[in-house]
A and B are shown apart, each in its own frame.
Chain A
Amino acid sequence: MYKYDHYDRKIVNQRVDQYEDQLNRYFNKELTDEEFRPLRLQNGLYIQRHAPMLRVAIPYGLLSSKQLRTLADIADEFDRGYGHFSTRQNIQYNWPKLEDTPKILRKLADAEMHAIQTSGNCIRNITTDPYAGVTPDEIVDTRYIAEILRQWSTFHPEFALLPRKFKISISGSKHDRALVKTHDIGLELVKEQENLFVNVFVGGGLGRTPVIGQLLKEKLPIEHLLSYCESIIRIYNLFGRRDNMYKARIKILVKALGVESFKKQVEDDWNDGKNSSNHLNDKEINRVKQFFTSPNYETVESIDLEDQFREDHNFLHWIKRNTREHIKNGYRSVTISLKGKKQTAPGDIQSSEMRVVADLADQYSFGEIRSTHEQNLVLADVKERDLYDVYSVLCENNLGEANIGLITDIICCPGGDFCSLANAKSIPIAKSIDNLFDNYDFLFDIGTISLNISGCMNACGHHHVGNIGILGVDKDGSEWYQITLGGQQGVNASLGKVIGPSFSADEVPAVIKEILNVYVAQRDSEEELFIDCYNRIGLDPFKEAIYKN
């Protein structure tokens, strides 16, 4: 993975100095609340319901075991012994003290980490496929391009105070696992005769106005990636709405202008500047690329796990759900579920569990961990012959839940328990749905399905792209839940449709159960996934079953 040199270290350390000075000026009343707000946000610091919340960047979801241990230490020393992985592959602490934040940032800097641009109206953490570099369907490894983008977007002088937040995602595989069509800029890497190109999508997003991004530029040569992104964001910076924060994202501008007219403005700017100083060259691409070469894989035989462990159904279930194919023979990638029955909330992890995962990474997976936008963790390179040992340690530490891609692998925002924006709580809803599935057979019978919960229309829980989406809404001061069906991420990304009037928290589990009953009764075979069944039969059968009472 990427290693800091003295330049990176200096930049991150000077950022801590800068932030400490800003905080001191705020304490000394030299900065008003209004002035300090964008400054602290750009350092990931929110003022939440109970305490400040600090969001720490995990660039494109890649962590070393040492970094994960640092995160555990911070959780113990400055928080309540746990952290929460977000849908942007970052980690959040819910209980730090404002005056402690510079100390936390120094500790992070020592481990080559930071909280830069994890919030605020600027370019946020670049996200990508958590299986980059190890997935068999990969065309281009996205990690080095993501690192190049991280550096370029860090303190970009023009884009510190955009109309609204700006999210970039990048995918380089046949199956898009990075939600490129629901990002402000989505980048799809393609290769032609060893030359790299980028398909640039723009104006996608979830939130209040969910929109699928549109293709703005096809086959942009990689050397122009940064200058083209600059032109897009420059046009957005100048013409995006600043009067109404709910209409300030780039998707609203693209929609208002029309994609062709937006493109014309972008290209007029870009044609003039495409030989800008940020024109990427092979030297720089190769310099960053060499940080992401394959680890020293052993030559090992593949093992027939089904045969060898045929008595151990739980292990085989876990293999089926929580591990995936690897480019290297005899290896698999392991996804560790943070959605177990013992987790307080989806994505939460105790400091002791972080240390367990860090130790496993050191022992079995080249000391690396990845976080996913589904709020789980990945050990990308585990030998098949070590899988049982890894599984055993995970089970001993409440991390052995075999539910990746199943309905209890819920994506969920912190909701009304923590977030001051939320209309409704989301964690208790996730828990009540989780409690429906004490019986693993039913869970496995339903198979692959996604259920996403957001506590408000800002959609941090990505409810629009959940096969089942749940959105917390406020009606006359009480909490209600609107349910959508048919959302989907990936190459065929689609947005869910609202099923009808919303439900109380108590009603939600029964409604979910009814939806699943309709699916089980209507599917044409056990192989037909929920989303395929929904696409075939439509919304009505579900609607009828739910509202008949």
Chain B
Amino acid sequence: MDTQLIKNKELVLNDWFWVVPDTSNEEVKKQAGKVVQFKLTGEDFPSDGTLHNVILPKAEKVILPLRLYLLKTDEIKNKYKEYGIWIYSHDELDLFNHLKDDINSFSVVGVYVEKFADGRIYSLGNLIRRKLSYKNDLRALGDVFKDQLFYLARSGFDSFLIKEGYDAKKALLGLDDFSYSYQGTLNQKPLWSER
């Protein structure tokens, strides 16, 4: 099967359309002479303008940016059979406060990581599970490959869209890098409880 999606420890058909706003025209913010890689300017990224310009695709199942969903809730509800939402790793949890629906009405919530080295995705996984009590599919999107999967799975993620060009079959093995982990997580007791 030609797919990049791993879910519940196997490769599965990806029938979700992932909507990514085109931000190529967004102004690159600079701070202290350096390009701000991970949005620290306090401003929304992408801008509302960019989100308004997103054309909703023809598809059965879509995953949309949370802020786009907030802007076009009614249209989205009418248009799609099934929909999920995703956030950027620079988004803060407060963003979910604007959601009128129960977060568990979404069958997918995604977190997008622009760069592999951005480890915020792991803590966001913890918060989405713990603070928001999200129960359904939590998906890692973006610069995702083999070497993050073990950590992501332990931070509450259960599906992973492997970056194009990277071998998803090999990536799947990353979930079994270690047989034991010392510390406990939300759904796993620490190793000491076995000792």
**Residues of A bordering B, CB below 8 Å:** 5, 7, 10-11, 14-15, 17-18, 22, 30, 34-35, 38-39, 121, 151-152, 154-163, 226, 234, 237-238, 241-244, 272-273, 276-278, 283-284, 287
Please name the 5 residue pairs, one residue from A and one from B, whose CB atoms are nearest each other, closest first: A161-B119, A277-B184, A157-B154, A151-B182, A157-B151
A390 to B143, CA, bound (A): 57
Q: Known A-B contacts: A157-B154, A237-B123. Give 4 more (CB < 8 A).
A: A35-B116, A160-B119, A242-B40, A244-B32
Most buried by B among A7, A17, A162, A272: A7
A278 to B123, CA, bound (A): 16
Contact of A238 among B117, B123, B180 (CB under 8 A): B123
Beta-carbon nearest neighbor of B166 in chain A? A30
1/0 per residue B106-138: CB within 8 Å of A? 000000000011111011111100110000000
Q: A161-B122, A238-B123, A243-B37 are in contact. Are A278 and B184 (CB under 8 A)?
A: yes
A38 to B119, CA, bound (A): 11
A373 to B154, CA, bound (A): 34
Beta-carbon nearest neighbor of A36 in chain B? B147
Question: In the complex the two chains form, is A273's CB within 8 Å of B188's CB?
Answer: no
CB-defined contacts of A160 to chain B, threshold 8 Å: 119, 122, 148, 151
Question: In the complex the two chains form, is A155's CB within 8 Å of B31's CB?
Answer: no
CB-defined contacts of A159 to chain B, threshold 8 Å: 119, 122
1/0 per residue B90-107: CB within 8 Å of A? 001000000000000000
CB-defined contacts of B154 to chain A, threshold 8 Å: 157
Q: A243-B31, A277-B184, A287-B192 are in contact. Are A158 and B178 (CB under 8 A)?
A: no
Chain B interface residue bracket vs A: 35 or more
Q: A242-B118, A244-B31 are in contact. Are A10 and B179 (CB under 8 A)?
A: yes
CB of B13, distance to nearest CB on chain A (Å): 24
CB of A279, distance to nearest CB on chain B (Å): 8
Question: In the complex the two chains form, is B122's CB within 8 Å of A244's CB?
Answer: no
Q: Is B191 an interface residue (CB 8 A)?
A: yes
CB-defined contacts of A276 to chain B, threshold 8 Å: 184
Interface of B is mostly: loop
Q: Is B4 an interface residue (CB 8 A)?
A: no
CB of B94, distance to nearest CB on chain A (Å): 12
CB-defined contacts of A11 to chain B, threshold 8 Å: 178-182
CB-defined contacts of B36 to chain A, threshold 8 Å: 243
Q: A243-B31, A273-B130 are in contact. Are A157 and B181 (CB under 8 A)?
A: yes
Question: In the complex the two chains form, is A158's CB within 8 Å of B122's CB?
Answer: yes
Beta-carbon nearest neighbor of A22 in chain B? B147
CB of B166, distance to nearest CB on chain A (Å): 8
Contact of A226 among B118, B183, B191 (CB under 8 A): B183
A161 to B127, CA, bound (A): 17
A88 to B119, CA, bound (A): 24
Q: A159-B119, A234-B126, A287-B195 are in contact. Are A14 and B151 (CB under 8 A)?
A: no
Question: In the complex the two chains form, is B118's CB within 8 Å of A161's CB?
Answer: yes
CB-defined contacts of B122 to chain A, threshold 8 Å: 157-161, 237
Question: In the complex the two chains form, is B190's CB within 8 Å of A278's CB?
Answer: yes
A226 to B185, CA, bound (A): 12
Q: A14-B177, A243-B40, A244-B32 are in contact. Are A156 and B183 (CB under 8 A)?
A: yes
Beta-carbon nearest neighbor of B147 in chain A? A39
Between A and B, 19 residue pairs with Cβ closer than 8 Å are: A15-B178, A18-B177, A38-B117, A156-B183, A157-B151, A157-B152, A158-B122, A159-B119, A161-B117, A226-B183, A234-B123, A234-B127, A237-B120, A242-B118, A243-B36, A272-B131, A277-B184, A278-B183, A284-B192
CB of B134, distance to nearest CB on chain A (Å): 15
CB of B73, distance to nearest CB on chain A (Å): 27
CB-defined contacts of A278 to chain B, threshold 8 Å: 183-184, 190
CB-defined contacts of B80 to chain A, threshold 8 Å: none
Q: A7-B195, A151-B183 are in contact. Are A14 and B119 (CB under 8 A)?
A: no
Question: In the complex the two chains form, is B38's CB within 8 Å of A242's CB?
Answer: yes
A38 to B145, CA, bound (A): 14
